[in-house]
Amino acid sequence: MGGALVSNTGPLVALAIIDRLDLLHCLFDEVIVPEAVHLELLEGGAKQAGVAAYRQAHWIKNRKLTEPHDPLLGSVLDKGEASVIQLARERNIDRVLIDERKGRQIAREIYGLQVIGSARVLVEAKRQGYLDNVEQAITAMRQHGYWLHENIVAMILKKAGE
């Protein structure tokens, strides 16, 4: 895939809990998170999901926004998603990693960004030889509490040839 990517919290947690955050490093030249996502990841929630893996991924760059959020973003999305879209726009990066449906839709339809999700990362990683089995990875994510809709799983497994 190459190029730069701005990521939201959810996909990073999903990949970190299965110990495959490295897939982003393999697939993209640069992985960036806005400060809001960085702080959210460090908080880690009740289970501290993915915090250790994120702290060790020194190749993920944390960047501050230079402009305030677009008012539309702040009114319909959480702070992390809004920051991802805003940072991508500020840095002229056309690809974002977001799993939540509303954030994906707004990024794609309103801001014209290319949106991928954690499941797509798994498929691309398999295509490029970095991952052997997408279904096992998705099952592991789900066992650790990461939710993916059945329709998405079915579609992704089909794309992965599994």
Which domain does 115 fall in, by range? 4-159
* pLDDT at 23 exceeding the cut of 50: yes
| pLDDT at res. 46 | 46
Structural domains of the chain, count:
1
pTM higher than 0.95, yes or no?
A: no
Strands 4-7 and 95-97: parallel
- How does the average pLDDT of the chain come out, rounded? 90
In angstroms, the Cα distances linking 90 to 72, 128, 142 are 16, 30, 34
Residue with tokens 């402009």: 67
Span 68-90, average pLDDT = 88
Span 21-37, average pLDDT = 95
Strands 95-97 and 114-116: parallel
| Distance between CA atoms of residues 153 and 156, nearest Å | 5
| Lowest pLDDT segment from 33-42, 72-81, 97-106 | 72-81
Per the CB < 8 A criterion, the answer to whether 26 and 128 are in contact is yes
Per the CB < 8 A criterion, the answer to whether 86 and 40 are in contact is no
Q: For the segment 133-159, what is each residue's pLDDT rounded down to a tens digit?
A: 999 999 999 998 888 888 888 988 998
CATH of the domain at 112: 3.40.50.1010
